[in-house]
Amino acid sequence: MRAPLTLLIVCLGMIAAVWWWLAAPVTLARAPIDPVAKLECVSYAPFRGSQTPLNSQLIVSPEHIQEDLAELAKVTQCVRTYSVDNGLEKVPELASKVGLKVLLGIWIGNGRAKNAQLIDTAVALSKEYPDTVKAIVVGNEVMLHGDMSASDLRATIRSVKARVSVPVTYADVWEYWLRYREIGADVDFITVHILPYWENIPVRAEDAAAHVVAIAKQVASAFPGKEILIGETGWPSNGRMREGAIASRTNQARVVSEILDLAKHENFHVNLIEAYDASWKREWEGTVGGNWGLFDGTNREVKYPPGVAIRNYPLWQLQMASGMVLAILIFAVAGLTLRRRPWMPPLASWIAVALSATTAGILLGIAADKMFYESYGLGGWLGWGALLAAAIASPLFCANALMAGRSLPTFLELIGPREDRTISVPAMALGFVLILTTLIAAKTALGLVFDPRWRDFPFASLTMAAVPFLTLTLLNRPKSGTRPIAETVFAVLFVVIALYAIFNEGTDNWQALWTSAAYFLLGATFWRARFMAVAGTASAAPAVVAETRASTRKEEELDPVGML
């Protein structure tokens, strides 16, 4: 047992080392949230849980808005809203009670009657709360969405401006300001959106602040004499990569801190997007769309409290410990299997167990973290939860199969004709995990082809499952025979989609590369699959190889679990 024990110690050491590296805190010159130096302004939407502004009947309670504004008043001087319906018409009144200014937004769409109603409400609020309403934002990305022509939008802006005494502006992404410069003549100041993550050519986090200021200067030069407000800028704390742009907690804190510092130095006004994580955006923008907040959307707590180290994995110690426990369990399953069927396995088998245990131990915490943040709705929780469960079960069942001399079952042995099916309970359990992993992997792979923009990359869970499958197939090879059609189809599918994902996402996106590598591992596993008429393995113990199929089945019926 010297070799297994040594491998286990090495495995646990690698898990600890990787998690120590992953948990390294980021050091910032300026805290993103500093009650002493309040933010200039931050976008605010009060929607919680399943609430969405697309529900025209929804009215957010004033009590919830009051709670939010009281907390926001501790860290910012102003809030920017986007509409005056769904209960948001109460924001100026409630903001005035806690000393907040308001950039009052009017959501302009393609419905003239609705537009007129919202404009009337905003005009009335600006007159009722002149000391609170700092300015009115007539329309948000109307030209980007194609809801109006430039001439109609300009007429709408002028009509509002004629009715109020506060400044009036319009907000859109910087490309559309440069494309429709004539709109600048109708506003008191320019409100421009600069979001480095969402650029057509995404900007890395380390370059985001410089990009924001460079674009702001470009817009300022296009509108001489006009004040520039960076109306939306920030960074997501969770979600998929876009080329080299990584959504993470440390990157969000770094980008916000650097943008605020550089904008202050260059004398630009900044409104950050956004106050609270907005889960309702995830239906259209995926995980990343709902994680731009400086406050957690569920607990309504600030993400980066002053004086607390900022890490990508705040619960890293628990995640590391859970991974170590899983690694020990994988080695324990292998050892208990050998006690049941004593023989001297080759070192390669123990190395395969160690590889699976190390991979699973390192990635368990990451996979669980991704499941928590990337699951949306019942279907999302079921899908990601099932994949994580399969990822945990895969190295355990494969460790048992390695030491028991069993190969990875084919689909024919699991769901084929009765005469070809296995009656081994451990083989069927392993096969169920294989089928579950394959179906979810195929679903995610096809999503990366047909709807890739919002899709997350399931690299952690897929790798946890794929590594044990491949090592089992390599060491406990089934005898030569006919390659099953299903395995061939999946092998080709995974390889082709992996190549497409690399081409589509680019080589800077390591999440896409890693996920593609996991698809390659699954493809290689299925390509090596063969249908067996007689059970046998290349690395099985002599005693196991000598058994006939009938005696093997009899033994498995007496000990159906095969792991105790």
What CATH number did the domain enclosing 60 receive?
A: 3.20.20.80
- Residue 466 sits in which domain range? 2-14+313-558
Average pLDDT over residues 160-179: 97
Report the DSSP beta bridge partners of residue 76: 39
pLDDT at 562 over 50: no
Same domain, 260 and 318: no
What rounded mean pLDDT belongs to the chain? 90
3-class DSSP state of 214:
helix
Residues 222, 333: one domain? no
pLDDT at 340: 80
The yes-or-no verdict on residue 293 having pLDDT over 50 is yes
- Per the rule left: phi > 0, alpha: psi between -120 and 50, beta: everything else, 286 is left
Do 266 and 399 belong to one domain? no
Residue 299 belongs to some domain of the structure:
no
Q: Are residues 133 and 281 part of one domain? A: yes
Domain tally, the chain: 2
Higher pLDDT, 532 or 215: 215
* Residue 233 within a domain: yes
CA 192 to chain centre: 27
For residues 273 and 381, membership in a common domain is answered with no
Confidence of residue 245 (pLDDT cuts 50, 70, 90): very high
In this structure, the answer to whether residues 84 and 204 fall within a common structural domain is yes
CB 454 within 8 A of CB 288: yes
Q: Which amino acid is at 264?
A: K
C-alpha angle 78-82-83 in degrees, rounded to nearest 5 = 115
Which tops the pLDDT comparison, 73 or 415?
Answer: 73
In this predicted structure, the answer to whether residue 352 has a pLDDT above a threshold of 80 is yes
The structure's pTM equals 0.88
- Whether 278 and 375 map to the same domain: the answer is no
Residue 341 neighbours by CB distance under 10 Å: 16
Q: Which pLDDT score is estimated for 465?
A: 97
DSSP letters for 318-373: HHHHHHHHHHHHHHHHHHHHHHHS-----HHHHHHHHHHHHHHHHHHHHHHHHHHH
Least Cα distance to 456 among 444, 469, 468 occurs for 444
Among candidate residues 254, 289, 324, the one where a domain is terminated: 289
- Side-chain-side CA neighbours of 86 within 13 Å: the count stands at 19
- Of 289, 305, 332, which marks where a domain is finished? 289
Q: Is residue 122 assigned to a domain?
A: yes
Residue 308 lies in a domain: no
pLDDT of residue 557: 42
Q: Are 353 and 331 in contact (CB under 8 A)?
A: yes
Q: What pLDDT does 284 receive?
A: 86
Give the residue from 314, 220, 308 showing the smallest Cα distance to 268: 220
* Amino acid, res. 339: R
Q: Give the helix, strand, coil percentages of the chain, each rounded to 5.
A: 55, 10, 35
Burial (CB count <10 Å: 0-12, 13-18, 19+), residue 328 = middle
Burial of 111 (0-12, 13-18, 19+ CB in 10 A): exposed
Report the pLDDT value the prediction gives residue 49, as an integer from 0 to 100: 87
Alpha helices in 223-299 (DSSP H): 249-266, 282-289
Averaged pLDDT, 261-265: 91
Q: What is the pLDDT of residue 534?
A: 39
Same domain for 169 and 90, yes or no, is yes
Q: Does 144 share its domain with 46?
A: yes
Q: What is the pLDDT of residues 199-236, one digit of tens each?
A: 999 999 999 999 999 999 999 999 999 999 999 999 99
- State yes or no: pLDDT of 560 exceeds 90: no
Task: Assess whether 79 and 128 both reside in one domain.
Answer: yes
**Do residues 239 and 323 share a domain?**
no
Position 29 scores a pLDDT of 76
Domain annotation covers residue 203: yes
Structure tokens at 387: 């994949």
The rounded distance, in Å, linking the Cα atoms of 280 and 410 is 42
Establish if 470 belongs to a structural domain: yes
The two structure tokens encoding residue 131: 């000391």
pLDDT digits (tens, 9 = 90+) for 103-161: 999 999 989 999 999 999 999 999 999 999 999 999 999 999 999 999 999 999 999 99
pLDDT value at position 33?
Answer: 83
**Among residues 273, 289, 305, which one ends one of the domains?**
289
245 - beta bridge partners?
242
Phi–psi pair at 434, nearest 5 degrees:
-60, -45
* Of the candidates 205, 151, 140, 155, the residue with the CA atom closest to the CA atom of residue 180: 151
User: 483 falls in which pLDDT band (50, 70, 90)?
Assistant: low
> 398 with 515, same domain?
yes
Here the tokens at position 9 are 């110690």
Which pLDDT score is estimated for 509? Answer: 96
Q: Evaluate whether residue 204 is within a structural domain.
A: yes
Q: How far apart are CA 435 and CA 506, in angstroms?
A: 30
Cα distance between residue 268 and residue 262, in whole Å: 9
33: in domain? no
Q: What is the largest CA-CA distance in the chain?
A: 94
Spell out the residues 6+ positions from residue 326 whose beta carbon is closer than 8 angstroms to its own: 357, 360, 361, 364, 392, 395
What's the mean pLDDT in 326-351?
90
CA distance 192 to 203: 17
